[in-house]
Amino acid sequence: MLYIVPTPIGNLKDITLRSIEVLQQVEVILCEDTRTSGKLLSHYGIQKPTMSYHMHNEHKVVDRLVDQLLAGKSMALITDAGTPGISDPAFLLVRACAKAGIRVETLPGATAFVPALVNSGIPCNRFCFEGFLPLKKGRQTLMKQLAEETRTMVFYESPMRLVKTLKEMALYFGAERCCSVTRELTKLYEETMRGTLQEVHDYYEKTGVKGEIVLIVQGKA
């Protein structure tokens, strides 16, 4: 059995009782970063062997993990924050388990884009999740395509690139397109800034930006 277990995106209390129970019961916990996950596990008194599973080694270890699961070992996969597989490692292992007939159970729990989307004030009955935009190759082409998207769009972005991204979106989507930036969700300095792409760009260009970021952009009218 492989369990996919969401972990808090900031506040350590944002974890389900079932997630804690599963982490206490499995034989091995796969972690994106064992040091980061170690703090969470220690907080809840969970003492289980951990293994690294991240984007830089997943292709190398996936077959070995499948063999161990087929041999009867139970594992849980967690990432540094949120639900594994949402802009985080998980897909390769889940796909390999599905092909091998290994049962996979994904627990519900924390993920950053849902509270940011609901809190944006932008319609969320229809939306598309784009994750992180490409840094160079295909970025301009994708921007042109997304300019015609009628659904609300959800992006993850780094603080170093947010101002640049907002500037590009204002160019391709129109400076008056509504957007919302939510950063540091569930943490002490959580902030949501709403306005047009131009207004939000000007705000963060002046103040600077730190922390984990979810960007919500209204679709084309």
- What tens digit of pLDDT does each residue of 48-102 get? 999 999 999 999 999 999 999 999 999 999 999 999 999 999 999 999 999 999 9
Characterize the bridge pairing of strands 2-4 and 75-78. parallel
User: According to the model, what pLDDT value does residue 44 have?
Assistant: 97
Instruction: Kindly state the helix (H) or strand (E) to which residue 63 belongs, with its residue range.
Output: helix 58-70
Query: For the chain, where are the E strands, in sequence order?
Result: 2-4, 28-31, 50-52, 75-78, 104-106, 127-132, 152-157, 178-183, 191-196, 213-217
Please identify which residue in the block is written with the tokens 């969320």.
124
> What is the rounded average pLDDT of the residues 142-167?
97
d(CA 39, CA 58): 22
d(CA 37, CA 93): 19
d(CA 164, CA 161): 5
Which domains can be identified in the chain, with CATH numbers? 2-106 (3.40.1010.10), 113-217 (3.30.950.10)
User: According to the model, what pLDDT value does residue 91 have?
Assistant: 96
Beta-bridge partner residues of 78: 31
When the pLDDT of each residue in the chain is averaged and rounded to a whole number, the result is: 96
Band (161; pLDDT cuts 50, 70, 90): very high
